[in-house]
Chain A
Amino acid sequence: MQELFQQLANGIAWGSIYALIALGYTMVYGILRLINFAHGDIYMVGAFAAYYLARLLHAGGPDPSPLLAAVVLLGSMAICAGLGVAIEFFAYRPVRKSSRLTALITAIGVSLLLENLGIRLFGADPKFFPQLVAPKTVVLAGGVIVTNHQITVVVISILLMVALTLFVHRTRTGKAMRAVAFNRDAASLMGIPVNRIITITFAIGSALAAAAGVLVGLTNPKIEPLMGIMPGVKAFVAAVLGGIGSIPGAVIGGLVMGVSEYLVVGYISSTYRDAIAFVILILVLLVKPAGLLGRNVAEKV
Chain B
Amino acid sequence: MVLGAWALNGAALSVLNPYIYRILVLCCLNVILALSLNLVNGITGQFSIGHAGFMAVGAYVSAAFTVYATPRLFGVTADAGSLAAAGPFILALVLGGLVAAVAGLLVGLPSMRLRGDYLAIVTLGFGEIIRVAILNIDAVGGARGFAGIPQRTNLAWVAAVAALTFIVIRNLVRSYHGRALLAIREDEIAAEALGVPTTRYKVSAFVVAAFFAGVSGGLFSHYTYLHTNSFTFMKSIEVIVMVVLGGMGSLIGSILGAFILTALPELLRFASAERLIIYSLLLIVLMISRPQGILGNKEISWSGLLARLRRKRPGEAA
What residues of B have a CB within 8 angstroms of the CB of A117 in the complex?
277
> Does B287 reach chain A (CB closer than 8 Å)?
yes
A113 interface neighbour in B121, B280, B291, Cβ under 8 Å: B280
Q: Which of B14-22, B145-153, B233-241, B299-307 contacts its partner? A: B233-241
Secondary structure type dominating chain B contacts: helix
Among B110, B120, B277, which residue has its beta carbon within 8 angstroms of that of A282? B110
Q: Does A56 contact B (CB under 8 A)?
A: no
Least Cβ–Cβ distance between B62 and chain A, in angstroms: 23
Decide if B88 is an interface residue (CB 8 Å cutoff).
no
Of all chain B residues, the one with the shortest Cβ separation from A275 is B132
Q: Which among B47, B128, B136, B284 has the greatest number of chain A C-beta atoms within 10 A? A: B284
Q: Quick one: which of A33, A116, A240 contacts B121, CB cutoff 8 A?
A: A240
A286 touches B284 (CB 8 A): no
Decide if A244 touches B117 in the complex (CB within 8 Å).
Answer: yes
Q: Chain B 73-113, CB within 8 Å of chain A: the 1/0 string?
A: 00000000000000000000000000000000000001001
Cβ–Cβ contact A275 & B129, under 8 A: yes
A282 touches B126 (CB 8 A): yes
Most B CB contacts (10 A, CB to CB) among A33, A117, A278 go to A278
The answer for the CA separation of A289 and B122 in the assembled complex, in Å, is 11
A113-B284, A285-B110 in contact; A275/B273 too (CB < 8 A)? no
CA distance A109 to B291 in the complex (A): 13
* In contact, A108 and B121 (Cβ under 8 angstroms): no
Measured CB to CB, the closest approach of chain B to A299, in angstroms, equals 7
Bound-complex Cα distance A98 to B290 (A): 10
State how many residues of chain A have any CB contact under 8 Å with chain B.
Answer: 43
Give Cα A91 to B283, complex, Å.
Answer: 11
User: CB-CB < 8 A to B241: which residues of A?
Assistant: 105, 108
B281 touches A113 (CB 8 A): yes
Indicate whether B279 reaches chain A with its CB closer than 8 angstroms: yes
Q: Verify B128–A240 contact, CB threshold 8 A.
A: no
Known: A112-B280, A275-B133. A237 touches B121 (CB 8 A): yes
Selected contact of A275 from candidates B110, B118, B128, B248, CB within 8 Å: B128
Interchain CB contact (< 8 A) of B233 among A233, A240, A277, A299: A233
Q: Does A236 contact B (CB under 8 A)?
A: yes
Instruction: Please state if A274 and B128 are interface contacts (CB–CB under 8 Å).
Output: yes
Given contacts A35-B117, A271-B135, A275-B132, contact A105 B277 (CB under 8 A): no
Residues of A within 8 A of B113 (CB): 285-286, 289
Tell me, yes or no, whether A106 is within 8 Å of chain B by CB: yes
Interchain CA distance A281-B292 in the complex, whole Å: 31
Q: Which of B41, B122, B283 contacts A112 (CB 8 A)?
A: B283
Q: Across the interface, which residues of B come within 8 angstroms of A91, CB to CB? A: 284, 288
Q: B189: nearest residue on chain A (CB-CB)?
A: A301
A-B contacts at CB below 8 angstroms, number: 114
A residues contacting B by CB (< 8 A) are 29, 33, 35, 91, 94-95, 98-99, 101-102, 105-106, 108-110, 112-113, 116-117, 119-120, 229, 233, 236-237, 240, 244, 269, 271-272, 274-275, 277-279, 281-282, 285-286, 289-290, 299, 301
B25 on interface, CB distance cutoff 8 Å: no
Contact partners of A281 in chain B: CB under 8 A: 121-122, 125
| Distance, CA A279 to CA B133, complexed state (A) | 12
Which of B128, B273, B274 is the one whose CB lies under 8 Å from A278? Answer: B128
Name the residue of chain B whose CB is nearest to the CB of A278: B125
**Cβ–Cβ contact A285 & B118, under 8 A:** yes
* Residue contact B287 to A102, C-beta cutoff 8 Å: yes
Per the bound structure, the CA–CA distance linking A123 and B132 in Å amounts to: 29
Please name 13 further chain A to chain B contacts, defined as beta carbons within 8 Å, in addition to the given A116-B277, A120-B273, A285-B113, sorted by A numbering: A33-B117, A95-B291, A101-B47, A101-B248, A110-B280, A112-B279, A113-B281, A278-B129, A279-B125, A282-B110, A282-B125, A282-B126, A289-B113
Q: Is the CB of B132 within 8 A of A271?
A: yes
CB distance from A280 to the nearest CB of B (A): 9
- Which of A35, A240, A277 is packed against the most chain B CB atoms within 10 Å? A240
Complex CA gap A19/B294 in Å reads 38
Please tell me which one of the listed residues A33, A105, A112, A301 contacts residue B245 in the complex, with CB atoms under 8 A apart. A105
Q: Which residues of A contact B281 (CB under 8 A)?
A: 109, 113
* B291 / chain A contacts, CB cutoff of 8 Å: 95, 98-99, 102
Report the Cα distance A116→B126, complex, angstroms.
Answer: 27
Q: Can you spell out 30 A-B residue pairs with CB atoms less than 8 angstroms apart?
A: A95-B288, A95-B291, A99-B248, A99-B291, A101-B248, A105-B245, A105-B283, A106-B287, A106-B288, A108-B241, A109-B280, A109-B281, A110-B280, A112-B283, A113-B277, A116-B276, A120-B273, A120-B274, A120-B277, A237-B125, A240-B118, A269-B136, A275-B129, A275-B132, A278-B124, A278-B129, A282-B125, A285-B118, A289-B114, A301-B189
